[in-house]
Amino acid sequence: MSAKVEHLWKGFYDSRRREVLIAIEDIDLDIAPGEFICVLGPSGCGKSTLLRVLAGLETPDEGAVHTDGRPSMVFQDHGLLPWLTVIDNVAYPLRLRGMGKRERRAKVRPLLETVGLADFAAYYPHQLSGGMRQRTSVARALADDGPILLMDEPFGALDEQTRVDLQQELLHIWSRTGKSVVFITHSVDEAIALADRVVVMSPRPGRIVADIRVPIARPRDVLSLRSDPAYAELTSTLWSLLEGAAPQAESSGVTA
CA 237 to mean position of chain CA atoms? 21
- Rounded CA gap, 121 and 140, in Å? 12
- pLDDT tens-digit series, residues 31-52: 999 999 999 998 888 899 999 9
More confident: 256 or 37: 37
Q: Indicate left, alpha or beta for 65 from its phi (over 0: left) and psi (-120 to 50: alpha).
A: beta
What pLDDT does residue 1 have? 61
- Rounded CA gap, 256 and 249, in Å? 9
What pLDDT does residue 93 have? 92
- Rounded CA gap, 194 and 204, in Å? 25
SS3 content of the chain, % helix, strand, coil (to 5): 40, 25, 35
**Cα 61 to Cα 9, 25, 136, 143, 228, distances in angstroms:** 6, 10, 33, 31, 42
Report DSSP letters for 41-78, one per residue. Answer: --TTSSHHHHHHHHHTSS--SEEEEEESS--EEE-TT-
DSSP 8-state secondary structure symbol assigned to residue 174: H
Q: Indicate left, alpha or beta for 78 from its phi (over 0: left) and psi (-120 to 50: alpha).
A: left
- Ordered by start, the domain boundaries in the chain are 1-71+147-256, 73-145
**Cα 141 to Cα 37, 38, 104, 163, distances in angstroms:** 17, 18, 14, 18
**pLDDT > 50? residue 103:** yes
**pLDDT > 80? residue 252:** no
Could you give phi then psi for residue 187, rounded to 5 degrees? -105, 120
- pLDDT tens-digit series, residues 173-216: 999 888 999 999 989 999 999 999 999 999 988 999 999 999 99
- pLDDT tens-digit series, residues 72-99: 999 877 789 999 999 999 999 999 998 8
For residue 248, the number of C-alpha atoms closer than 13 Å in the C-beta half-sphere is 10
Tell me the average pLDDT across 1-17.
86
**pLDDT > 70? residue 66:** yes
What pLDDT does residue 255 have? 43
CATH topology of domain 1-71+147-256: Rossmann fold (3.40.50)
- Rounded CA gap, 167 and 203, in Å? 26
